[in-house]
Protein backbone atom coordinates (compact mmCIF):
# COMPACT_ATOMS: atom_id res chain seq x y z
CA UNK A 1 0.00 0.00 0.00
CA UNK A 2 1.16 3.51 -0.79
CA UNK A 3 2.27 5.38 2.29
CA UNK A 4 0.84 8.83 2.84
CA UNK A 5 3.15 11.76 2.27
CA UNK A 6 3.90 14.96 4.22
CA UNK A 7 6.24 17.68 2.96
CA UNK A 8 8.68 19.81 4.91
CA UNK A 9 10.45 22.82 3.38
CA UNK A 10 13.51 24.11 5.24
CA UNK A 11 13.57 27.89 5.08
CA UNK A 12 14.72 29.15 8.45
CA UNK A 13 18.29 30.03 7.49
CA UNK A 14 19.33 33.56 6.70
CA UNK A 15 21.29 32.85 3.55
CA UNK A 16 24.39 34.65 4.76
CA UNK A 17 26.16 34.38 1.42
CA UNK A 18 23.48 36.57 -0.18
CA UNK A 19 24.78 39.55 1.82
CA UNK A 20 21.25 40.91 1.95
CA UNK A 21 18.98 42.55 4.49
CA UNK A 22 16.29 40.23 3.20
CA UNK A 23 16.17 36.49 3.88
CA UNK A 24 17.37 34.45 0.92
CA UNK A 25 14.15 32.57 0.21
CA UNK A 26 12.25 35.82 -0.36
CA UNK A 27 14.50 36.97 -3.17
CA UNK A 28 12.52 36.81 -6.40
CA UNK A 29 13.13 34.62 -9.41
CA UNK A 30 11.18 35.78 -12.47
CA UNK A 31 8.95 37.80 -10.16
CA UNK A 32 8.31 35.02 -7.64
CA UNK A 33 10.04 34.68 -4.27
CA UNK A 34 12.18 31.53 -4.22
CA UNK A 35 10.18 29.87 -1.48
CA UNK A 36 7.07 29.87 -3.68
CA UNK A 37 8.79 27.84 -6.36
CA UNK A 38 9.72 25.16 -3.84
CA UNK A 39 6.29 25.17 -2.21
CA UNK A 40 4.57 24.93 -5.61
CA UNK A 41 6.75 21.98 -6.53
CA UNK A 42 5.73 20.28 -3.28
CA UNK A 43 2.05 20.94 -3.97
CA UNK A 44 2.34 19.28 -7.34
CA UNK A 45 3.36 16.08 -5.52
CA UNK A 46 0.08 16.20 -3.54
CA UNK A 47 1.27 15.63 0.00
CA UNK A 48 -1.31 15.70 2.80
CA UNK A 49 0.27 18.82 4.26
CA UNK A 50 3.16 21.16 3.59
CA UNK A 51 5.02 22.60 6.52
CA UNK A 52 7.58 25.34 6.12
CA UNK A 53 10.26 25.69 8.79
CA UNK A 54 10.78 29.39 9.44
CA UNK A 55 13.13 31.28 11.72
CA UNK A 56 15.14 34.19 10.39
CA UNK A 57 12.69 36.94 9.35
CA UNK A 58 9.87 34.50 9.92
CA UNK A 59 7.20 37.20 9.95
CA UNK A 60 8.01 38.22 6.38
CA UNK A 61 7.96 34.63 5.17
CA UNK A 62 4.67 33.96 6.94
CA UNK A 63 3.11 37.04 5.35
CA UNK A 64 3.61 35.63 1.87
CA UNK A 65 0.50 34.59 0.04
CA UNK A 66 1.06 31.07 -1.19
CA UNK A 67 -0.94 29.58 -4.03
CA UNK A 68 -2.18 26.85 -1.69
CA UNK A 69 -2.23 26.82 2.12
CA UNK A 70 0.94 25.92 4.01
CA UNK A 71 1.64 25.65 7.72
CA UNK A 72 4.62 27.07 9.52
CA UNK A 73 6.94 25.66 12.14
CA UNK A 74 9.19 27.94 14.11
CA UNK A 75 12.85 26.96 14.49
CA UNK A 76 13.93 29.47 17.13
CA UNK A 77 17.66 29.15 16.59
CA UNK A 78 19.16 28.01 13.32
CA UNK A 79 21.43 25.22 14.50
CA UNK A 80 21.51 23.26 11.27
CA UNK A 81 19.33 21.33 8.84
CA UNK A 82 18.80 18.36 11.22
CA UNK A 83 17.77 20.75 13.95
CA UNK A 84 15.31 22.31 11.51
CA UNK A 85 13.68 18.93 10.90
CA UNK A 86 13.59 18.31 14.63
CA UNK A 87 11.50 21.48 14.98
CA UNK A 88 8.71 19.50 13.32
CA UNK A 89 8.91 16.72 15.95
CA UNK A 90 5.33 17.10 17.19
CA UNK A 91 3.84 16.77 13.74
CA UNK A 92 6.11 13.83 12.98
CA UNK A 93 5.17 12.00 16.18
CA UNK A 94 1.53 12.05 15.25
CA UNK A 95 2.22 10.80 11.70
CA UNK A 96 4.65 7.92 12.32
CA UNK A 97 3.18 5.65 9.69
CA UNK A 98 3.65 8.17 6.87
CA UNK A 99 6.52 9.40 4.71
CA UNK A 100 8.17 12.80 4.97
CA UNK A 101 9.66 14.60 1.99
CA UNK A 102 12.21 17.14 3.17
CA UNK A 103 13.51 19.75 0.73
CA UNK A 104 15.93 22.64 1.16
CA UNK A 105 14.20 25.97 0.57
CA UNK A 106 16.69 27.05 -2.08
CA UNK A 107 16.17 24.16 -4.53
CA UNK A 108 13.97 26.19 -6.82
CA UNK A 109 14.61 24.54 -10.16
CA UNK A 110 13.59 21.00 -9.31
CA UNK A 111 10.44 19.97 -11.11
CA UNK A 112 7.85 17.64 -9.63
CA UNK A 113 8.35 15.29 -12.62
CA UNK A 114 11.88 14.74 -11.39
CA UNK A 115 10.82 13.83 -7.86
CA UNK A 116 7.97 11.46 -8.66
CA UNK A 117 10.26 8.58 -9.67
CA UNK A 118 12.19 9.09 -6.44
CA UNK A 119 9.00 8.69 -4.43
CA UNK A 120 8.13 5.56 -6.42
CA UNK A 121 11.59 4.08 -5.86
CA UNK A 122 11.35 4.79 -2.13
CA UNK A 123 8.06 2.97 -1.85
CA UNK A 124 9.05 0.10 -4.11
CA UNK A 125 12.28 -0.53 -2.20
CA UNK A 126 10.54 0.06 1.14
CA UNK A 127 13.42 2.27 2.20
CA UNK A 128 13.73 4.01 5.52
CA UNK A 129 15.36 6.87 3.61
CA UNK A 130 15.82 7.70 -0.04
CA UNK A 131 17.80 10.79 -0.95
CA UNK A 132 18.47 12.59 -4.18
CA UNK A 133 22.00 12.75 -5.54
CA UNK A 134 23.39 14.17 -8.76
CA UNK A 135 26.57 13.72 -10.72
CA UNK A 136 27.77 17.25 -11.29
CA UNK A 137 30.42 18.79 -13.49
CA UNK A 138 31.09 21.29 -10.72
CA UNK A 139 29.71 20.21 -7.33
CA UNK A 140 31.33 23.07 -5.40
CA UNK A 141 29.27 23.98 -2.34
CA UNK A 142 27.44 20.65 -2.23
CA UNK A 143 27.94 17.79 0.19
CA UNK A 144 29.72 14.84 -1.47
CA UNK A 145 28.33 11.32 -1.45
CA UNK A 146 30.74 8.54 -0.43
CA UNK A 147 30.13 4.79 -0.35
CA UNK A 148 31.69 2.45 2.22
CA UNK A 149 31.65 -1.16 3.35
CA UNK A 150 28.44 -2.75 4.56
CA UNK A 151 26.32 -0.38 2.48
CA UNK A 152 27.29 2.62 4.54
CA UNK A 153 26.77 5.89 2.72
CA UNK A 154 28.21 9.04 4.12
CA UNK A 155 27.96 12.69 3.09
CA UNK A 156 30.91 14.99 3.58
CA UNK A 157 30.03 18.64 3.64
CA UNK A 158 32.32 20.75 1.49
CA UNK A 159 33.81 22.47 4.53
CA UNK A 160 34.55 19.17 6.26
CA UNK A 161 35.79 17.34 3.17
CA UNK A 162 39.39 16.44 2.37
CA UNK A 163 40.80 17.56 -1.00
CA UNK A 164 40.29 14.02 -2.31
CA UNK A 165 36.66 14.00 -1.19
CA UNK A 166 36.14 17.36 -2.85
CA UNK A 167 37.06 15.82 -6.17
CA UNK A 168 34.03 13.52 -5.93
CA UNK A 169 31.41 14.50 -8.48
CA UNK A 170 28.40 12.93 -6.83
CA UNK A 171 26.61 15.58 -4.80
CA UNK A 172 23.87 15.51 -2.21
CA UNK A 173 21.08 17.60 -3.66
CA UNK A 174 19.11 18.36 -0.51
CA UNK A 175 15.92 16.31 -1.01
CA UNK A 176 15.21 13.44 1.36
CA UNK A 177 12.33 11.06 1.73
CA UNK A 178 11.93 9.37 5.12
CA UNK A 179 9.75 6.83 6.77
CA UNK A 180 8.78 9.07 9.65
CA UNK A 181 9.16 6.47 12.42
CA UNK A 182 12.73 5.69 11.29
CA UNK A 183 13.53 9.38 10.99
CA UNK A 184 12.37 9.99 14.55
CA UNK A 185 14.61 7.23 15.82
CA UNK A 186 17.71 8.49 14.03
CA UNK A 187 17.38 12.26 14.46
CA UNK A 188 18.52 12.41 18.12
CA UNK A 189 21.72 10.57 17.20
CA UNK A 190 23.02 13.46 15.10
CA UNK A 191 25.78 15.52 16.74
CA UNK A 192 27.20 18.90 15.91
CA UNK A 193 30.85 17.90 16.02
CA UNK A 194 31.90 19.38 12.68
CA UNK A 195 33.54 22.52 11.35
CA UNK A 196 30.37 24.59 11.36
CA UNK A 197 29.21 23.28 14.73
CA UNK A 198 25.80 22.57 13.21
CA UNK A 199 23.47 19.60 13.34
CA UNK A 200 23.72 18.32 9.78
CA UNK A 201 20.73 16.45 8.40
CA UNK A 202 23.16 14.80 6.03
CA UNK A 203 24.68 12.84 8.93
CA UNK A 204 21.46 10.88 9.16
CA UNK A 205 22.39 9.08 5.97
CA UNK A 206 25.33 7.35 7.63
CA UNK A 207 23.28 6.66 10.73
CA UNK A 208 20.43 5.05 8.81
CA UNK A 209 22.54 3.22 6.22
CA UNK A 210 24.50 0.10 6.93
CA UNK A 211 21.26 -1.75 7.32
CA UNK A 212 21.03 -3.46 3.95
CA UNK A 213 18.57 -1.79 1.62
CA UNK A 214 17.34 0.71 4.12
CA UNK A 215 18.88 3.77 2.48
CA UNK A 216 18.34 4.31 -1.22
CA UNK A 217 19.95 6.80 -3.53
CA UNK A 218 17.94 8.26 -6.37
CA UNK A 219 20.15 9.83 -9.02
CA UNK A 220 18.72 12.98 -10.55
CA UNK A 221 18.40 12.69 -14.32
CA UNK A 222 18.57 16.45 -14.97
CA UNK A 223 21.69 18.17 -13.76
CA UNK A 224 20.20 21.49 -14.86
CA UNK A 225 17.61 21.29 -12.11
CA UNK A 226 20.15 20.97 -9.36
CA UNK A 227 21.16 24.32 -7.99
CA UNK A 228 21.25 25.08 -4.29
CA UNK A 229 21.29 28.83 -4.65
CA UNK A 230 23.76 30.12 -2.11
CA UNK A 231 24.85 33.50 -3.49
CA UNK A 232 23.54 36.05 -5.94
CA UNK A 233 25.58 34.83 -8.83
CA UNK A 234 24.10 31.36 -8.40
CA UNK A 235 20.73 33.11 -8.23
CA UNK A 236 21.38 34.86 -11.54
CA UNK A 237 22.39 31.59 -13.16
CA UNK A 238 19.31 29.81 -11.89
CA UNK A 239 17.07 32.67 -12.99
CA UNK A 240 18.56 32.37 -16.45
CA UNK A 241 17.51 28.72 -16.61
CA UNK A 242 13.99 29.61 -15.46
CA UNK A 243 13.81 32.49 -17.94
CA UNK A 244 14.60 30.15 -20.80
CA UNK A 245 12.10 27.56 -19.56
CA UNK A 246 9.39 30.22 -19.56
CA UNK A 247 10.25 31.36 -23.07
CA UNK A 248 10.29 27.81 -24.38
CA UNK A 249 6.90 27.03 -22.88
CA UNK A 250 5.40 30.20 -24.40
CA UNK A 251 6.94 29.47 -27.78
CA UNK A 252 5.50 25.96 -27.61
CA UNK A 253 2.07 27.42 -26.91
CA UNK A 254 2.16 29.60 -30.04
CA UNK A 255 3.88 32.85 -29.11
CA UNK A 256 6.53 34.25 -31.47
CA UNK A 257 9.58 35.55 -29.64
CA UNK A 258 12.03 37.14 -32.04
CA UNK A 259 14.94 37.49 -29.68
CA UNK A 260 14.78 35.13 -26.68
CA UNK A 261 18.12 36.35 -25.37
CA UNK A 262 16.80 39.85 -24.65
CA UNK A 263 13.26 38.96 -23.64
CA UNK A 264 12.23 38.90 -19.98
CA UNK A 265 8.93 37.30 -19.06
CA UNK A 266 8.00 36.73 -15.43
CA UNK A 267 6.76 33.38 -14.25
CA UNK A 268 3.08 34.28 -13.91
CA UNK A 269 2.73 36.17 -17.20
CA UNK A 270 0.23 34.71 -19.67
CA UNK A 271 0.36 35.35 -23.41
CA UNK A 272 -2.17 34.33 -26.06
CA UNK A 273 -1.28 32.56 -29.29
CA UNK A 274 -0.03 34.40 -32.36
CA UNK A 275 1.24 37.27 -30.29
CA UNK A 276 4.66 38.49 -31.41
CA UNK A 277 7.34 39.91 -29.15
CA UNK A 278 10.16 41.89 -30.73
CA UNK A 279 13.52 42.14 -28.98
CA UNK A 280 14.02 43.62 -25.52
CA UNK A 281 10.48 43.23 -24.29
CA UNK A 282 9.99 42.99 -20.51
CA UNK A 283 6.74 41.59 -19.11
CA UNK A 284 6.42 41.48 -15.35
CA UNK A 285 4.14 40.39 -12.54
CA UNK A 286 0.64 39.18 -13.26
CA UNK A 287 0.48 40.56 -16.78
CA UNK A 288 -1.91 38.91 -19.23
CA UNK A 289 -1.58 39.52 -22.98
CA UNK A 290 -4.24 38.48 -25.46
CA UNK A 291 -3.96 36.80 -28.82
CA UNK A 292 -2.54 38.30 -31.98
CA UNK A 293 -0.84 41.24 -30.25
CA UNK A 294 2.38 42.85 -31.39
CA UNK A 295 4.82 44.15 -28.82
CA UNK A 296 7.63 46.14 -30.41
CA UNK A 297 11.13 46.65 -28.97
CA UNK A 298 11.62 48.03 -25.45
CA UNK A 299 8.05 47.56 -24.34
CA UNK A 300 7.89 47.19 -20.57
CA UNK A 301 4.62 46.00 -19.02
CA UNK A 302 3.90 45.28 -15.37
CA UNK A 303 0.75 43.80 -13.79
CA UNK A 304 -1.50 44.74 -16.70
CA UNK A 305 -4.17 43.15 -18.87
CA UNK A 306 -3.88 43.57 -22.60
CA UNK A 307 -6.73 42.40 -24.86
CA UNK A 308 -6.51 40.70 -28.25
CA UNK A 309 -4.89 42.31 -31.30
CA UNK A 310 -3.34 45.19 -29.43
CA UNK A 311 -0.29 46.88 -30.92
CA UNK A 312 2.22 48.34 -28.51
CA UNK A 313 4.90 50.33 -30.26
CA UNK A 314 8.51 50.93 -29.28
CA UNK A 315 9.65 52.19 -25.88
CA UNK A 316 6.35 52.11 -24.06
CA UNK A 317 5.77 51.49 -20.37
CA UNK A 318 2.49 50.19 -18.99
CA UNK A 319 1.82 49.67 -15.27
CA UNK A 320 -1.25 48.19 -13.55
CA UNK A 321 -3.49 49.10 -16.45
CA UNK A 322 -5.90 47.52 -18.90
CA UNK A 323 -6.01 47.86 -22.65
CA UNK A 324 -8.91 46.49 -24.67
CA UNK A 325 -9.04 44.79 -28.04
CA UNK A 326 -7.54 46.45 -31.07
CA UNK A 327 -6.09 49.47 -29.27
CA UNK A 328 -2.74 50.92 -30.30
CA UNK A 329 -0.31 52.33 -27.76
CA UNK A 330 3.04 54.06 -28.29
CA UNK A 331 5.67 54.70 -29.33
CA UNK A 332 6.95 56.33 -26.14
CA UNK A 333 3.73 56.13 -24.14
CA UNK A 334 3.62 55.84 -20.37
CA UNK A 335 0.45 54.38 -18.90
CA UNK A 336 0.70 54.69 -15.14
CA UNK A 337 -1.47 52.71 -12.72
CA UNK A 338 -5.22 52.53 -13.29
CA UNK A 339 -5.23 53.55 -16.90
CA UNK A 340 -8.00 51.84 -18.80
CA UNK A 341 -7.81 52.18 -22.56
CA UNK A 342 -10.92 50.91 -24.31
CA UNK A 343 -11.25 49.05 -27.59
CA UNK A 344 -9.85 50.59 -30.72
CA UNK A 345 -8.43 53.65 -28.98
CA UNK A 346 -5.08 55.15 -29.98
CA UNK A 347 -2.58 56.58 -27.54
CA UNK A 348 0.59 57.78 -29.12
CA UNK A 349 3.91 59.56 -28.88
CA UNK A 350 4.84 60.94 -25.47
CA UNK A 351 1.41 60.59 -23.92
CA UNK A 352 1.21 59.93 -20.19
CA UNK A 353 -1.91 58.70 -18.40
CA UNK A 354 -2.75 57.95 -14.81
CA UNK A 355 -6.08 56.85 -13.29
CA UNK A 356 -7.75 57.56 -16.59
CA UNK A 357 -10.44 55.84 -18.58
CA UNK A 358 -9.90 56.39 -22.27
CA UNK A 359 -13.00 55.60 -24.33
CA UNK A 360 -13.54 53.45 -27.39
CA UNK A 361 -12.07 54.85 -30.55
CA UNK A 362 -10.70 57.92 -28.78
CA UNK A 363 -7.33 59.32 -29.83
CA UNK A 364 -4.49 61.08 -28.04
CA UNK A 365 -1.72 61.09 -30.56
CA UNK A 366 0.94 63.36 -29.17
CA UNK A 367 2.52 64.91 -26.09
CA UNK A 368 -0.34 64.87 -23.58
CA UNK A 369 -0.92 64.29 -19.90
CA UNK A 370 -4.25 62.87 -18.79
CA UNK A 371 -4.59 62.31 -15.04
CA UNK A 372 -7.76 61.39 -13.11
CA UNK A 373 -9.70 61.81 -16.32
CA UNK A 374 -12.70 60.14 -17.83
CA UNK A 375 -12.53 60.32 -21.60
CA UNK A 376 -15.67 58.93 -23.21
CA UNK A 377 -15.87 57.35 -26.68
CA UNK A 378 -14.62 58.93 -29.90
CA UNK A 379 -12.94 61.90 -28.31
CA UNK A 380 -10.04 63.61 -30.00
CA UNK A 381 -7.32 64.91 -27.73
CA UNK A 382 -5.14 67.39 -29.61
CA UNK A 383 -1.37 67.47 -29.29
CA UNK A 384 -0.10 68.92 -26.06
CA UNK A 385 -3.34 68.66 -24.09
CA UNK A 386 -2.76 68.70 -20.36
CA UNK A 387 -5.17 68.00 -17.55
CA UNK A 388 -4.24 70.15 -14.56
CA UNK A 389 -5.49 67.64 -12.01
CA UNK A 390 -3.50 68.63 -8.95
CA UNK A 391 -3.92 71.84 -7.00
CA UNK A 392 -1.01 71.20 -4.70
CA UNK A 393 -3.17 69.42 -2.14
CA UNK A 394 -5.83 67.39 -3.88
CA UNK A 395 -6.42 65.61 -7.16
CA UNK A 396 -9.46 66.63 -9.21
CA UNK A 397 -11.37 64.97 -11.99
CA UNK A 398 -11.75 65.90 -15.62
CA UNK A 399 -14.62 64.47 -17.66
CA UNK A 400 -14.62 64.69 -21.45
CA UNK A 401 -17.93 63.57 -22.92
CA UNK A 402 -18.42 61.55 -26.05
CA UNK A 403 -17.34 63.00 -29.37
CA UNK A 404 -15.67 66.10 -27.92
CA UNK A 405 -12.73 67.65 -29.73
CA UNK A 406 -9.95 69.18 -27.67
CA UNK A 407 -7.77 71.51 -29.71
CA UNK A 408 -4.02 71.31 -29.42
CA UNK A 409 -2.15 72.99 -26.62
CA UNK A 410 -5.11 73.04 -24.26
CA UNK A 411 -5.01 73.06 -20.48
CA UNK A 412 -8.02 71.60 -18.74
CA UNK A 413 -8.04 72.86 -15.17
CA UNK A 414 -9.83 70.27 -13.03
CA UNK A 415 -12.45 69.79 -11.78
CA UNK A 416 -13.98 70.43 -15.16
CA UNK A 417 -16.37 68.80 -17.61
CA UNK A 418 -16.31 69.09 -21.38
CA UNK A 419 -19.76 68.41 -22.89
CA UNK A 420 -20.74 65.96 -25.58
CA UNK A 421 -19.70 66.86 -29.14
CA UNK A 422 -18.28 70.19 -28.00
CA UNK A 423 -15.12 71.86 -29.29
CA UNK A 424 -12.34 73.47 -27.34
CA UNK A 425 -10.28 75.88 -29.37
CA UNK A 426 -6.56 75.25 -29.59
CA UNK A 427 -4.43 76.95 -26.98
CA UNK A 428 -7.26 77.38 -24.49
CA UNK A 429 -7.03 77.25 -20.75
CA UNK A 430 -10.38 75.81 -19.69
CA UNK A 431 -11.46 76.55 -16.14
CA UNK A 432 -15.24 76.24 -16.50
CA UNK A 433 -17.47 73.45 -17.74
CA UNK A 434 -18.19 73.46 -21.48
CA UNK A 435 -21.79 72.71 -22.55
CA UNK A 436 -22.49 70.01 -25.05
CA UNK A 437 -22.34 71.10 -28.64
CA UNK A 438 -20.63 74.41 -27.77
CA UNK A 439 -17.30 75.86 -28.83
CA UNK A 440 -15.17 77.13 -25.99
CA UNK A 441 -12.16 79.30 -26.62
CA UNK A 442 -10.21 80.98 -23.88
CA UNK A 443 -7.18 82.74 -25.18
CA UNK A 444 -6.40 86.39 -25.81
CA UNK A 445 -7.25 87.66 -29.23
CA UNK A 446 -4.45 88.05 -31.69
CA UNK A 447 -3.38 91.65 -32.37
CA UNK A 448 -1.54 92.68 -35.46
CA UNK A 449 0.43 95.90 -35.92
CA UNK A 450 0.91 96.57 -39.64
CA UNK A 451 4.43 97.50 -40.81
CA UNK A 452 5.66 97.34 -37.24
CA UNK A 453 9.04 95.92 -38.20
CA UNK A 454 9.83 98.62 -40.70
CA UNK A 455 8.94 101.39 -38.24
CA UNK A 456 11.09 99.83 -35.58
CA UNK A 457 14.11 99.62 -37.85
CA UNK A 458 13.84 103.31 -38.85
CA UNK A 459 14.33 104.47 -35.27
| Of positions 8, 10, 70, 271, contacts ligand UD1 by CB under 6 A | 10
Comparing CB distances to ligand UD1, the nearer of 142 and 267 is: 142
Cβ of residue 38: shortest distance to Ca ion, in angstroms? 12
Cβ of residue 413: shortest distance to Ca ion, in angstroms? 59
How far is 359 from 377, CA to CA, in rounded Å? 4
Cβ of residue 82: shortest distance to ligand UD1, in angstroms? 8
- Binding of residue 18 to ligand UD1 (CB under 6 A): no
Cβ of residue 227: shortest distance to ligand UD1, in angstroms? 8
- Binding of residue 100 to ligand UD1 (CB under 6 A): no
- Binding of residue 57 to ligand UD1 (CB under 6 A): no
Which residue of the set 36, 43, 300, 366 is catalytic?
A: 366
Give which of Ca ion, ligand UD1, none residue 344 binds (C-beta under 5 to 8 Å, depending on kind): none
Comparing CB distances to ligand UD1, the nearer of 161 and 343 is: 161
Total Cβ atoms within 10 A of residue 332: 18
Total Cβ atoms within 10 A of residue 305: 18
Span from 10-18, 127-135, 250-258, 450-458 in contact with ligand UD1 (CB under 6 A):
10-18
CB 417 within 8 A of CB 399: yes
Residues 118-177 that bind ligand UD1 (CB under 6 A): 142-143, 155, 157, 171-174
Phi, psi of 135 (to 5 degrees): -85, 120
CA-based max dimension of the chain: 116
Total Cβ atoms within 10 A of residue 76: 10
- Binding of residue 200 to ligand UD1 (CB under 6 A): yes
Comparing CB distances to Ca ion, the nearer of 200 and 332 is: 200
Total Cβ atoms within 10 A of residue 400: 30
Phi, psi of 86 (to 5 degrees): -65, -25
Comparing CB distances to Ca ion, the nearer of 106 and 309 is: 106
Residues at the site binding Ca ion, with contacts judged by CB under 5 A: 106, 228, 230
Span from 101-109, 307-315, 387-395, 412-420 in contact with ligand UD1 (CB under 6 A):
101-109
Cβ of residue 75: shortest distance to ligand UD1, in angstroms? 5
| Of positions 49, 60, 78, 442, contacts ligand UD1 by CB under 6 A | 78
| Of positions 5, 6, 7, 12, contacts ligand UD1 by CB under 6 A | 12
- Binding of residue 35 to ligand UD1 (CB under 6 A): no
- Binding of residue 206 to ligand UD1 (CB under 6 A): no
The number of residues making up the chain comes to 459
Comparing CB distances to Ca ion, the nearer of 106 and 206 is: 106
| Of positions 106, 266, 284, 352, contacts ligand UD1 by CB under 6 A | 106
- Binding of residue 104 to ligand UD1 (CB under 6 A): yes
| DSSP line for 142-173 | SEEEEE-GGG-EEEE-GGG--HHHHT--EEEE
What kind and span of H or E run contains 261? none
| Of positions 5, 6, 8, 13, contacts ligand UD1 by CB under 6 A | 13
Give which of Ca ion, ligand UD1, none residue 78 binds (C-beta under 5 to 8 Å, depending on kind): ligand UD1
- Count Cβ atoms within 10 A of the Cβ of residue 197 and give its class: 0-12 exposed, 13-18 middle, 19 or more buried: exposed
Comparing CB distances to ligand UD1, the nearer of 78 and 349 is: 78
Nearest CA to 198 among 275, 101, 84, 368?
84
Comparing CB distances to ligand UD1, the nearer of 142 and 278 is: 142
Task: Please enumerate in sequence order all residues whose Cβ is within 8 A of that of 380, keeping only pairs 6 or more positions apart, or say none.
Answer: 362, 363, 404, 405, 406
- Binding of residue 105 to ligand UD1 (CB under 6 A): yes
Instruction: Please tell me the count of residues contacting ligand UD1 according to CB under 6 A.
Output: 28
Comparing CB distances to ligand UD1, the nearer of 200 and 332 is: 200
* C-alpha of 326 from chain center: 27
β-pairing, 334-335 vs 317-319, is parallel
Q: Is 51 a catalytic residue?
A: no
- Count Cβ atoms within 10 A of the Cβ of residue 393 and give its class: 0-12 exposed, 13-18 middle, 19 or more buried: exposed
Task: Please enumerate in sequence order all residues whose Cβ is within 8 A of that of 202, keeping only pairs 6 or more positions apart, or say none.
Answer: 81, 143, 155, 157, 172
The vertex-7 CA angle with 78 and 113, nearest 5°, equals 120
Cβ of residue 162: shortest distance to ligand UD1, in angstroms? 16
How far is the CA of 101 from the CAs of 34, 174, 254, 335, in angstroms? Answer: 18, 10, 36, 46
How far is 330 from 351, CA to CA, in rounded Å? 8
Cβ of residue 25: shortest distance to ligand UD1, in angstroms? 6
Comparing CB distances to ligand UD1, the nearer of 230 and 315 is: 230
Known catalytic residues are: 366
Q: Which residues bind ligand UD1 (CB under 6 A)?
A: 10-13, 53, 75, 78-81, 83-84, 104-106, 142-143, 155, 157, 171-174, 200-202, 228, 230
Amino acid sequence: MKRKLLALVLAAGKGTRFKSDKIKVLHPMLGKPMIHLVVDCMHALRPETIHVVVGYQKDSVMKEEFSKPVEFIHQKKQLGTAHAVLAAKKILQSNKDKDLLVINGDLTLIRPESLRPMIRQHQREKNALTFLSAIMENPTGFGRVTYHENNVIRIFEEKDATPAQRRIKEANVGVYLFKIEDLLRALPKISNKNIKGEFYLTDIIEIMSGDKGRVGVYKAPEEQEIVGINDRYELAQAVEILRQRKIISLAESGVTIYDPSTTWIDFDVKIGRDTTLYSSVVLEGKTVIGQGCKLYPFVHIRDSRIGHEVKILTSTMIEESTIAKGAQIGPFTHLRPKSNVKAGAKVGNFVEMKSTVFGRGSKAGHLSYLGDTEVKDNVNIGAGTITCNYDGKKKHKTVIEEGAFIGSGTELVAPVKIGKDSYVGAGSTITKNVSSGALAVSRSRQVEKPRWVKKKRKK
